[in-house]
Each structure stands twice: as structure tokens, then as C-alpha cells.
Amino acid sequence: MNFWGGIMADILLKDLWKIFKSRGEVVEAVKGINLHVMNGELVVLLGPSGCGKTTTLRMIAGLEKPTFGSVFIDGENVTKLTARQRDIAFVFQSYALYPHLTVYQNVEFPLKAQGMSKDVISKRVKEVMDFLGIWEFKDKYPSNLDSGAQQKVAIARAIVRKPKAFLLDEPLSNLDAKVREYTRAELKRLHMDINITTIYVTHDQIEAMSLADRIVVMKLGEIQQVGKPREVYENPNNLFVANFIGSPGMNFFRVVKDGNYLILEDYRINVNELKKYRRILSGMNDGEMILGIRPEYIKLSNSRNGWQVKIDLVEPLGFEKIVDFLGKRTSGKLRTLKRVNLKPGDEVRILFDIEKIRLFDPKTGWNLLRMDQVDEVKVS
């Protein structure tokens, strides 16, 4: 059923700041964010608690006033407009349903507030509730529904008036794991069907990777990286992004560049094999840097050229296992199939997938490939 036919809009944030002042303390919650969310795109703001993602969302919605900077919706500067004037729907973490109203009455509420006719209201409410599979609950009260169904009611109420954009603040955080997984898939399907411009806030990187057209990784009020999920996963701008994205996160090892080799204990990597970094490394002096490699790109090997390590811990995870290993002075994790027979105390040799190695500056934490673009990266 194609009930949507709504108007969509792009969203542009220009030099957006939010500074809170309380009892003499100044908190810079958002620091000069620049971001363009394109028409029909689903963008996820991802980061730990306190990184400024919810504050950014609230400024887009008109629930917070920026200290500096501007918000544009479909080319119009809406910075001084109220939330009601922006024609944007907001879904909260807490659902915010009216407990004294039935499911049907909750969903129709924004249409009644706009003064729409009864015929239009009944038609649109029926279409949206059918689409989300909650029509059978129309006469029930929110307290009689499970958390997943309550969240669907909140979503139905948000989209029933066909807003220009859809903002969601941690909408799945109150759901248990199984319901969360199901509802996440439903949200993905919803976006594919109605293609509404959507900004979604979460601290859960699995949600971000599975839902987003693009991910905006934030830390301490600043954007660290903007990109498609796979791009952010494979080519993180810095150590923070590399560690935050992925479960487990990327391994980090301190290595020494010595002529044409990177040396990690008894493991030597030829610089000339690192195609992405070969030009940069050729112009660098010898010294320390940080090598990053994801657990799935570390392989067991019989080669004498491998790094000799000892197995410390094996975590079975169904079809695969996560293996903790110890070098002489450092440790890491690798991911392998369940059929691979490993136990604590085993001594093995491992090799890194050369194409998947990432190198970081030990002082700044930035990927060596991004060192010349740090200012540009922060405002992508």
C-alpha cells in the first residue's frame, strides 16, 4: 500500500553550536557542526552518551535554540521558527503516548489538532495503522500493549500527518533484544517504503550499521566522520571511530617503522606491500605509529613470517568465535569459524590481511590518510 505521497525535504546544519550555562559552568554540547542530510536519506547520528547527538536532533526539531549557527529545511532558514512551524515529526525514547486515549485516538490526535475533516482523518489513520500492522489494537489503551507495539503507535502518530522529515531519538532503547531486532527491521522497511527524510539518534553501532544510508559519528560535540556504513567501518578517520564501530572494535598495536619495514615484536611487514600508505610512509622518518586491524582480518598461518602469539581466551558465538591472544608485550583479538580448534595456551602464528591494515598517528589519533584533511573531515 502506498499511502505516503508526502513532501520530503533536505536538512542543512551550518556552524551549529549549543552552549549550556548552569551555575557558572559552561558546557559546549555541540561545537560547530556542519551537515547536509539529503532528500529521502536516512542519516544516523551515532556516538556515546554526552556526545551531542540528541542535542543536535532537538535543535533540528526546534526543541532547543542554537547558541550559534543555522538550521535550514528545504532551503528555508528555520532557526527562529517554533517546532510546530517546522513540519517535522519527532519520536521520543519514551514513546510519549497519551495513556487516557486509545491507540486510534493517539494516532488521530495530530490530525485533529490540525483541524482536518473526519473523513480525511479516518482514511489516513486506517492506512497508516494497517501499514504498521496495529489496526487490531485500535480500541486498546497503550498500557495494554507490549513495548514494541507501543513504539509502533508512536511512529504511526508521527507519520500520519505526512511531515517533511522524521526525527527519532533512541526509539528502540527500551525494547528487549528480540523485539528490538524485529522493530529495527520494521523501521528499515518503513523507510524503504515511504522514503521520508530521516535522522535517527543512537549509541548502538549495530543499529547504525543496519539502518543508515550514512552514519555521522560524534564525540564531545564534534563530528568525527560522515560516510556510508561500510566506508566508516573499513576506513575510519581516527582511533575513536575505529574502536567505536565494530564489535569487538579494531585492534591497535604500536609498531615501529624501521626503513622499509613496520616491526611488531617478531612480525615484520614490508612497507611496499601497503599500497594505501606506501607513498605517505616513503616520506616519513622512522619512528612509532599505531597499526589498526579488525579481528576478522587476522588469520591463522603456518608461515614462518607470521607473528607468534599464545591463545588466551576463546569465546564461542554460534557459527564463529572470538579469540583473545597474547604477544610478548601486547594483546589482541581475532575472529574465526567455530570449526577451528583452538584452546587457551595454544601457541600459533598469525598474519594480517595487508589490504586491511590501517595506520594512525600516535599523537593525534588520526588515520595517516586523513592527516592532511582533518579540518575537512570534521565538517563533512
Superfamily the domain 250-378 falls into: Nucleic acid-binding proteins (2.40.50.140)
The alpha carbon torsion through 75, 80, 85, 87 (nearest 10 deg) reads 40
**Better-predicted residue by pLDDT, 223 or 1:** 223
Superfamily the domain 11-242 falls into: P-loop containing nucleotide triphosphate hydrolases (3.40.50.300)
Among 21-25, 254-258, 274-278, 376-380, name the one with the lowest average pLDDT: 376-380
Q: What is the pLDDT of residue 1?
A: 43
Report the alpha-carbon distance of residue 120 to residue 131 in Å, rounded: 17
pLDDT tens-digit map of 322-371: 999 999 999 999 999 999 999 999 999 999 999 999 999 999 999 998 86
What's the pLDDT band for 379 if we cut at 50, 70, 90?
Answer: very low
Q: What is the pLDDT of residue 3?
A: 57
**Better-predicted residue by pLDDT, 2 or 90:** 90
Q: What is the pLDDT of residue 180?
A: 82
Supply the mean pLDDT for the chain: 91
Q: What proportion of the chain, given as a percentage, has pLDDT over 90?
A: 71
Q: What proportion of the chain, given as a percentage, has pLDDT over 70?
A: 96
Angle, helix 147-159 to helix 103-113, in steps of 10 degrees:
20
Q: What is the pLDDT of residue 4?
A: 59
Q: What is the pLDDT of residue 181?
A: 85
Q: What is the pLDDT of residue 94?
A: 76
pLDDT tens-digit map of 90-112: 888 777 888 999 999 999 998 99
pLDDT tens-digit map of 300-328: 998 888 999 999 999 999 899 999 999 99
pLDDT at position 374 over 90:
no
pLDDT tens-digit map of 281-296: 988 899 999 999 999 9
What residue spans in the chain does CATH classification 2.40.50.140 cover? 250-378
What residue spans in the chain does CATH classification 3.40.50.300 cover? 11-242
**First-residue to last-residue Cα distance in the chain:** 36
What's the pLDDT band for 377 if we cut at 50, 70, 90?
Answer: very low
pLDDT at position 157 over 70:
yes
The mean pLDDT value for 216-220 works out to: 97
Considering only CA atoms, give the Rg of the chain. Answer: 25
Q: Decide: 324 and 317 in contact? Cβ < 8 Å.
A: no
Burial 186-199 (b: 16+ CB within 10 A, else e): bbeebbeebebbbb
Closest to 47 measured CA to CA, from 186, 190, 225: 225
